[in-house]
Amino acid sequence: MKLAWIPFVFLRVLKSLRDLLWTHVLTSGTMAMTLFIFGGFLLIQDNLHSLLKGWGSQIQIFAYLNNSLASPDLQKLIAAVRSYPEVESVRFVSREQAWESFKKSMGSQSSLLEGLQAEILPPSLEIVLKMPYRERAPAGDVAKRLRGLAGISQVEYPEEWVERLSVLVLGVQWAKWIFGGFLFAATLLIVGNTVKLAILARKDEIEIMQLVGAPQGLIQAPFVVEGMIQGIAGASLSLLVLWLLFLFLGTELPNFLGIFAVRDQIHFLDVEGVALILSLGGLLGASGSLFSLRRFLKV
Amino acid sequence: MVQLFRVAKIYPPNYPALKDIYLQIDKGEFVFVNGPSGAGKTTLLRLLFRAEDASEGQIVVNGRNITRLDGKGVAELRRELGLVFQEFKLLPTMTALENVALAAQVVGVSRQESKRKAFHLLRELGLKDKHDARPPTLSGGEQQRVAIARALVNEPMLVLADEPTGNLDAETAEETMRLFLKIHERGTTVLLATHDTGVLKRFGCRAVFLQRGELVGDSKQESGEARL
Ligand SMILES: Nc1ncnc2c1ncn2[C@@H]1O[C@H](COP(=O)(O)OP(=O)(O)OP(=O)(O)O)[C@@H](O)[C@H]1O
Ligand SMILES: [Mg+2]
């Protein structure tokens, strides 16, 4: 490709974008929709994944104690739990500490708690397992042994949550490609059709270029560039909409559902995710256009 | 410059437009391809710039066998040719100058240089005041001269013209024919298809005759035989 051809290609792309403006806008919009759905899945998958990782790495067992437990017994109990080979650390949470952190987690709605007493929350032990034991089976094993100890009334650990979330992440991961795959195929056809219109609009010029021996690359380049521009525009639009939706849900949804803990943990797509969407857009546009060129540009 | 060996063209499903053609055209010749309508003149020319594939036989243009060429090879072949058609094939939205310059630009000549070349050619062909005119505002003869300028802008070895005067009145046709002779005098090989038999007598160049797809006469061979 010679340098002199860059303005040539550029001019033709501009002209085509202008002449078929609404066709191009609609095509970009279609691509934006496809990529929005794909990006939405990607975003959910990303967030679930990091939530899972966060939770997995902090698998804790909560052992709630009898209210009547005396101090020496408590010390003995803590020492016993500490001596388990799976246990990394044990932290005692008194009734007052539990109350404070509960109030804090309620945030602005803590006024609702007025009149309630610290007594309603039992003291507890927060038990962190060593790395290799942070899985379902060993955690369950430890929980079973804890239940057998005197002074412990109840044992909890987020076993089912972790498991269900893992399945969900896997589901989203697959849905992204299955849904995405269908939409990509449909979008390819729509881009192909737009490029077909662009080819027809320039059919006479293309014929003359072919007759005077213009290289095929030069004849095709404007359409490929055109497809890529549409794709990248569509991808940018999808990212913008996704981001606005993310901002909205990120501030509104946690308040609405009362999931305070999640609020600080969700995040938008990282640089790689954004780059993936943009390049998928460009690729989708370019391949839709090549696909059309192959069909409608006879040599 | 051009050699055809046992060339045949069968259009699908099975219409034989050319049969068993042998033809040799040397560098610097001016050759008329003559024959009644439907004889296969256009088909012959289209084979030479590879708008059609030969069904049989071999074709050599400028030392290159063109029977088997990929897209890139076809483009390279056409860069050595200048093509002129009955219906001009100019782009109505571009000016005369842009129409001519386009042909140079797309084969890699810079914008500036393309315009300079187009400018000089148009002046040479007597279209000095028509650079900025668009084809629909030009007369038929003027349009054909723009098309000829476009065919010449890349300095082709061989010019192929298919009924270039078919859409022109007698007087303009005569002028246009003289233009092709001038091009020929500058050293370019010219192959010109026409069904007009009067022009052959007036110009006295070599002429080959087609009839129903067969090459039935060649003034060169006849005069050669006559001399023997
Ligand atoms: N694409 C095609 N498919 C089928 N038949 C064709 C095709 N092109 C041409 N023919 C046939 O081949 C024969 C030769 O056509 P061609 O155009 O070469 O004749 P010609 O000598 O140029 O005629 P004219 O003087 O009218 O231009 C004609 O009978 C025509 O109908
Ligand atoms: Mg013809």
Mutate to test the interface with A, among B66, B80, B86, B105 (most CBs of A within 10 A): B105
Q: Which residues surround ligand 2, an ion (CB under 5 A)?
A: B 42
Residue with tokens 């038990």: A127
**Pocket of ligand 1, beta carbon within 6 A:** B 11, 15, 17, 35, 37-43, 195
Number of C-beta neighbours around residue A268 at 10 A: 15
Task: Write the CATH number for B192.
Answer: 3.40.50.300
- Do residues A152 and A175 both lie within one domain? no
How many structural domains are present in chain B?
Answer: 1
Residue at a domain's end among A157, A172, A197 = A157
Q: Residues of A numbered 211-250 whose beta carbons fall under 8 angstroms of chain B's beta carbons: which are they? A: 211-216, 218
Residue in chain B lying closest to A213 (CA) = B75
Residues whose CB is less than 8 angstroms from the CB of residue A123 and which lie 6 or more positions away in sequence, other chains included: A64, A65, A67, A69, A92, A93, A94, A95, A98
A4 assigned to some structural domain: no
Task: Answer whether residue A110 shows pLDDT above 50.
Answer: yes
Residue type, B8: A
Reported as a pLDDT band with limits 50, 70 and 90, residue A166 is confident
Q: Is A5 touching B (CB cutoff 8 A)?
A: yes
How many structural domains are present in chain A?
Answer: 2
A14/chain B closest Cα distance in angstroms = 16
A4/chain B closest Cα distance in angstroms = 6
Give the tens place of pLDDT for each residue, A53-105. 766 666 678 888 887 777 888 888 888 888 888 888 888 888 888 878 777 76
- Return the closest-CA partner of residue B88 out of B5, B157, B147: B147
Closest to B106 (Cβ–Cβ): which among A7, A204, A218? A218
Give the tens place of pLDDT for each residue, A2-60. 777 888 899 999 988 898 899 889 889 989 999 999 899 888 888 877 777 766 666 67
A236 assigned to some structural domain: yes
Reported as a pLDDT band with limits 50, 70 and 90, residue B228 is very low
Task: Answer whether residue B227 shows pLDDT above 60.
Answer: no
Reported as a pLDDT band with limits 50, 70 and 90, residue A127 is confident
Sheet holding A124-129, edge to edge: A87-93, A124-129, A60-65, A152-156
Give the tens place of pLDDT for each residue, A254-287. 665 555 455 566 788 889 899 999 999 999 999 9
A99 assigned to some structural domain: yes
B228 assigned to some structural domain: no
φ/ψ (deg, to 5) at A4:
-60, -20
Complex ipTM value: 0.91
Average confidence score pLDDT of chain B: 91
Cβ-defined contact of A8 to B105 (cutoff 8 Å): yes
Task: Write the CATH number for A111.
Answer: 3.30.70.3040
Handedness of CA B150, B156, B159, B160 (dihedral sign): negative
- Do residues A180 and A274 both lie within one domain? yes
